[in-house]
Structure 1
């Protein structure tokens, strides 16, 4: 029998009230790289709206691993705020997860005031700077940092962590043959390119045991010529499942570094993005942005066909995301054997959508997938159709 998305379910060692997850979307509400009241309110509303698990994004494991210096990085000073956030979500009936990762070549070196790391020295089109090739010592430090960050999440009362293995962030960039040109034990063969992901998952599981759930956001396809594609991804997913460190994989696609719209689909808010930058970046985005922000048509459950290949070959629980925007799409995911679904834009538009879906089998989002929420990360991520700027401003 298919799973019922609106009944309680088990995810590793934790029990959730249903099978619907708020996917990680950088909230833009941490101006001092620490939790704010605005961030707590953001996730409280998601929990009040019925989602089982809300994901705090993005929680970097090291200061140079942020895409912007205003993002949280996991350190002792962050614990009190994270604990307040966890308590607020729990009081609203939900559970909370921290997305842990290192941005690698996606990091904003200028904002972080630290050189970005990558598998090897390369030009970053995001920061317009040259990255530094991560040394073995860097990689050992970063693996340990993931484990330490997971311990901080436990200390703060979080229910889960999500390891960022997607979008050409550091670990994803090591998986990519287009980005990883190393000749040591972390480059070349698929087994070598997967080494960092497997070491990280194992270190985190060892650190947390069965106290919290451990998920990974994992690329099925970079959407980049010569990059990490489905056949290789299936093999790595099978290795991760065999290793036994993960409770679930959240399946994603795309490259924040080279092809971000491959994940989001729908309209490309080019002019809104350009407006967030000063000249000459603004002019460059307007002139050449279509080469980076390519257009892909939106349709409901647009990653389902690719994800079904993973469902057919893996026993590991899987989270389906990508255009989950109606009760019908949720039910389709359950009928096809997915244990969980993840929603992002639809919950930005309407945090209470899950409650409405539970009550109405015909319910669907009113989100238009205009993607104008994407440029708002610089002032507080929000749906521009429903939330005034003043309501999303970051406060302490």
Structure 2
């Protein structure tokens, strides 16, 4: 326990411990603006004892959001984000901004902007074809990531996490299933990794060693023809060689095709269907068993895959997935992972870390039902935890 809760270096910054609140889209930014509700969400987690909390999702462009009420990085939100980072710092924790572009996961209808994909795909959310960016547009996306990192620095963040997972834009470029390009951004694994490497280097250069720069990287997509562990290892090795990243958080699954690989546990198909408009609700009932597969929950369920990355890489790694109790955190440290990342357990108990420090026998009461998942667009929360906060404007929107 003393090692887990001792200060730890993450690039140019020092965290008070090795536990990171993983990114979970908060659903608390109606009109794509920072709210007191969002600030309190992260302040409470910081007060609960984590070393760093991650604000998600900070899109690099308005069309890069999963819906138009999601936050996107622009000068107008810097003051609100500064209030958030100040509140987190008062509680003794660091703050990270997760930046990225949702790509094929973006809701084109809600954003009123085309979703992007590496190759021609049809958007089931926007009910229209996705736009395939040319090389000039790709360069603009790289620049947008760098500018988002600069704005994060102005807002007082200690770190930025670049989203390279879950078949968001960069992850879709990594996928041989989704990326059928014939230019230098398609074909071989190294070509498909080009966008990830360019963005990582651009973000690293933008913040100049003043902020920690991390990335959330898929170890595999979990779909036939998608990114595999051996390919992801090649990508990770190149990212390490480039030297722009201070750590990787290892993840898996596809928000587009197989989201439950990331979560494990119960698949809340009926609850998800209720959040959707009529036709989409019917569609979810039809494809739900295929789209929302069930993977039995177990502690550290991504560890077997992550071990392969730990053997090949020397850079710091954060283990994600089923990290809820002290013994699991201790196992992760013993296996060589510098950090652990938690999410759902902290939705149920924001003060879980403090209680574990006080009593090593403390067990998380999260039951891995995943009923929190359908709440992400109305206000992310554990449905079993009393919540007396006011609901934000825009909750339960029909356009989602």
Normalising to structure 2: TM-score of the pair?
Answer: 0.97
CA distance in 1, matches of 2:291, 2:128: 17
**Structure 2 Cα separation of the partners of residues 3 and 163 of structure 1:** 30
Offset, 1:395: 6.3
Who is 1:35 aligned against? 34
Cα root mean square deviation, aligned: 1.3
Partner of 2:278: 279
Q: In the alignment, which residue of structure 1 is the partner of 2:93? A: 94
d(CA) in 2 for partners of 1:10, 1:271:
43
Residue 245 (structure 1) aligned with residue 229 (structure 2) = no
Provide the secondary structure at the position in 1 that maps to 2:31. Answer: coil
Residues 73-222 of structure 1 aligned to structure 2 (within 5 Å) = 73-222=72-221
Q: Is the 8 A contact 2:108 2:125 kept in 1?
A: no
Alignment of 1:282-321 (within 5 A): 282-321=281-320
Q: In 2, distance between residues paired with 1:188 and 1:3?
A: 47
**Number of aligned positions between the proteins:** 394
What's the CA shift for 1:3?
8.1
Q: Distance in 1 between matches of 2:163 and 2:311?
A: 23
Deviations 1:142-194 (A, max 9, x none): 10000000000001110000000000000000000000000000000111100
Q: Helix, strand or coil for the counterpart of 1:221? A: coil
For 1:72 and 1:11, the matched residues in 2 are separated by 26
Deviations 1:65-106 (A, max 9, x none): 001111110000010000000000001111100000000000
Mean Cα deviation higher: 248-257 or 378-387: 378-387
2:57 partner SS? strand
Q: Secondary structure at the match of 2:96?
A: strand
1:335 is matched with 334
Task: Tell me, in whole angstroms, the C-alpha distance in 2 between the residues paired with 1:24 and 1:45.
Answer: 15
The Cα offsets for residues 30-82 of structure 1, whole Å up to 9 and x where unpaired, read as 00111100000000000000001000000000010001111110000010000
d(CA) in 1 for partners of 2:8 and 2:390?
Answer: 32
Give runs of aligned pairs for residues 6-85 of structure 1, distance below 5 A: 6-85=5-84
Where structure 1 has 5 or more consecutive residues not aligned to the other structure, the ranges are: none
What does residue range 219-230 of structure 1 map to in structure 2 within 5 Å? 219-230=218-229
Secondary structure in structure 2 of the residue aligned to 1:85 = helix
Mapped to 2, the partners of 1:387 and 1:69 lie a distance apart of 28
